[in-house]
Amino acid sequence: MNGRRFAAILSIDVVGYSRMMQLDASGLLKSLNKIFRDILKPTVAEGGGRIVKLLGDGALVEFPATLSALSTAVGIQQKMSAYPWPREAIQLRLGVHAGDVLVEGNDLFGDPVNIAARLQAAAAPGGILISGMVRDLCGSQPYALKSQGVHRFKNIAHPVETLSVVLEPEKNSGTDNAPARGDLRFCKTSDGVTLAWECSGDGAPIIKAPNWIGHLDLDWRSPGIAPMIRSVSRLGRLVRFDARGNGLSDWDVDQISFDRFVDDLECVFDAAGVERAPILAISQGGAVAAAFAARAPERVSAIVMLGSFPLGRAQRNNPQDRARAEALKSMMRAGWDDEYPSLRDHLAQVILPGASIEDRDVYAADMRQMISPENAGRYREVIDNIDVMYLLKEVTVPCLVLHSRGDRMQPFDQGRQFAAGLPNSKFVALDSDNHILPEYDTAWPQAEREISSFLKAYV
């Protein structure tokens, strides 16, 4: 029967399906059949749902009542978590939305189906992401929800409020076990500045260039940095350090300059005993990594750049950019320590517009502990005057350049310009507004796949 009807839609996806198919296709299919027989089919039946269709890596399920869809999603994930897996556990991502669907025979179409699929893609492995409409339609319900911000999804005309379901136990949130952290260590630069550095993970080295400001401890809970640390630490031994003037490195320093940033990167290479390695670079770290690769090409095997730029605001041919650079620098020196609403809250909004309010609040509060007001102003002076256009042709190592289309901190054309100037680069456009990517950003799975695939050739 064709027409329209109200439905709550549950979209289900198998995490890492393609990778697992390549490793063991017959074993995976056998496990998926057991999941369908033992978990999916009976749980959907209990909730009064209808399996609209099964896909190779997921399923689409319809419910007449929204709370039934939500309860079924929770039941599926709880049973998946408790299932006695004979090998590496399979994880699912689930998304739930509701509204009027188009009915054609046994199939369903329309925004509720599309949005449920987008939510599922943005959910953490082992997690459930729902829309604000689902929360409102369910009313009083027994599940704890955590806001994950308002998102604009590809090919969806209006923004969607998103919330994750807090599952008990919350061991299947997609972070896996935190990678092993090494001891905090220190090294001295040529001008006597003490830099703090540490390692996480095992295997061949990967060096992370510092971005904006940071803190070796606080970065582990940063919504945009922690997912990258965890992911890359699974590929090899990730070496991170706090740049001079911030974090756990010396704050009282005579010189904060771009050249010193490049010197400090070389100092950490030496301190960690690394002769040659790929560099992970975010934001201004991309320019620092490029400058170091031009200076010492024998020490850099490849570079990953996310949200990077070859020209700082003050160097761009745009009077508004230069005016903003001056205003931001002055505001940092005068208002960095202000209470809410503060400049730091504004920066968190610009850097992570798609993050949840809670995550942005944490990031804004943590920035206050990362750097002093005076050093924040000095940092902006350096960052806004970056210009590495002249040396890009000397950076011959393979480079992966990723940039969000809606990046408000560093515009998309800066990433494209960076990639165009590098002789051996691949450019990846991400459908996101975030400068750095939270794990629940719909672009994060794509970025993680690209980075992992690229770096595996060099570790």
pLDDT in tens, 121-166: 888 778 899 999 999 998 877 888 888 777 777 778 788 888 889 8
What is the pLDDT averaged over residues 94-98? 95
Per DSSP bridges, beta strands 92-104 and 128-131 are parallel
Going by pLDDT thresholds of 50, 70 and 90, the confidence category of residue 171 is: very low
In order, the DSSP letters of 260-312 are HHHHHHHHHHHHTT-SSEEEEEETTHHHHHHHHHHH-GGGEEEEEEES--SB-
Predicted confidence (pLDDT) at residue 80 exceeds the cutoff of 50: yes
What residues have CB less than 8 Å from 78, skipping those under 6 apart?
A: 167
Banded model confidence at residue 85, pLDDT cuts 50, 70, 90:
low
Torsion of CA 141, 144, 149, 152, to 10 degrees: -50
- Average pLDDT of the segment spanning 413-435: 96
Percent of the chain with pLDDT over 90: 60
pLDDT for residue 57: 81
pTM for the model: 0.66
- Residue 86 has what pLDDT? 55
Q: What is the pLDDT of residue 178?
A: 60
Q: 170: which DSSP letter?
A: G
Sequence letter at residue 377: G
In this structure, are residues 200 and 226 in contact, taking their beta carbons and an 8 Å threshold? no
197 or 459, greater pLDDT: 197
φ/ψ of 189, rounded to 5, equals: -80, 175
Can you tell me the distance from the alpha carbon of 456 to that of 446, in angstroms, rounded to the nearest whole number?
16
Q: What is the pLDDT of residue 340?
A: 60
Instruction: Give the relative orientation of helices 258-271 and 285-295 as an angle to the nearest 10 degrees.
Output: 70
54 falls in which pLDDT band (50, 70, 90)?
confident
Asked if residue 370 lies in contact with residue 249, where contact means CB atoms within 8 angstroms, the answer is no
| Predicted pLDDT of residue 174 | 41
Structural domain boundaries of the chain?
3-172, 185-455
Residue 172 has pLDDT above 50, yes or no: no
Arithmetic mean of pLDDT over the chain: 89
pLDDT digits (tens, 9 = 90+) for 351-391: 998 887 778 888 988 998 999 999 999 999 999 999 999 99
Q: Which of 12-26, 41-55, 266-280 has the lowest mean pLDDT?
A: 12-26
For 185-455, give the CATH class.
alpha beta
pLDDT at residue 68 is higher than 90: yes
- Angle between the N-to-C axes of helices 319-335 and 343-351, in degrees from 0 to 180, rounded to the nearest 10: 130
pLDDT of residue 1: 59
Overall average pLDDT of the 250-268 stretch: 97
HSE of 288, CA atoms in CB hemisphere, 13 A: 27
The most confident of 171-175, 316-320, 382-386, 440-444, by mean pLDDT: 382-386
pLDDT value at 181 more than 90: no
Q: Which residues pair with 186 in a beta bridge?
A: 196
d(CA 368, CA 347) in angstroms, rounded, equals 12
In 324-440, DSSP assigns E strands to: 399-404, 425-430
> What single letter denotes the amino acid at residue 67?
L
Is pLDDT of 170 > 50? no
Considering the four listed CATH numbers 3.40.50.1000, 3.30.70.1230, 1.10.8.10, 3.40.50.300, the one that applies to the domain covering 3-172 is: 3.30.70.1230
Specify the pLDDT at position 329.
Answer: 74
Q: Residue 129 in contact with residue 119, Cβ under 8 Å?
A: yes
Distances (CA, A) of 268 to 198, 236, 244: 10, 17, 12
Across 82-89, average pLDDT = 64
pLDDT for res 330: 79
Q: Give Cβ neighbours of residue 147 (< 8 Å, ≥ 6 apart).
A: 161, 162, 163, 356, 357, 358
SS3 content of the chain, % helix, strand, coil (to 5): 40, 25, 35
Instruction: Provide the pLDDT for residue 168.
Output: 63
* Residue 414 pLDDT greater than 90, yes or no: yes
Q: Does residue 321 have a pLDDT over 90?
A: no
